[in-house]
Amino acid sequence: MSIEQFIDNEVKSNDVVLFMKGTPQFPQCGFSGQVVQILDHVGVGYKGLNVLESAELRNGIKEYSNWPTIPQLYVKGEFVGGCDIIREMFQAGELQQLFVDKGVTVNAAASA
């Protein structure tokens, strides 16, 4: 399986995927940490993939999305953005609405 096939499979078989530096439990960059905090606050389940474990994954995701930075968030197979975009969408209430529109289960208590 090529790295592009691996990424494509992860993005399409998980509702929410975060390509990040570190893990959701131990982010290893401030930007990845901010996105983890936002997703945890919203209360959405997601899969975190650590790009630091593989140079092939780190470079592959940048080519896959045509986006130069990490973290990268995908919802229902669609690239949403990096840290700044996710933060702005969250502050405007657009991220929460995106999850609702895409049919992604959100913990109501966390999003209130």
Residue with tokens 């975060």: 18
pLDDT along the chain (112 residues), means of 10: 96 98 97 98 96 97 97 98 97 96 79 37
| Whole-number pLDDT of residue 107 | 81
| Whole-number pLDDT of residue 108 | 57
The predicted model scores a pTM of: 0.94
Q: 79 is written with which tokens?
A: 């690239």
CATH number of 1-100: 3.40.30.10
| Whole-number pLDDT of residue 27 | 97
Residue 83 marked in a binding site:
no
Yes or no: say if 46 and 27 are a contact pair by the CB < 8 Å rule. Answer: no
Break the chain into its structural domains and give their ranges: 1-100
Provide the β-strand partners of residue 74.
Answer: 17, 79
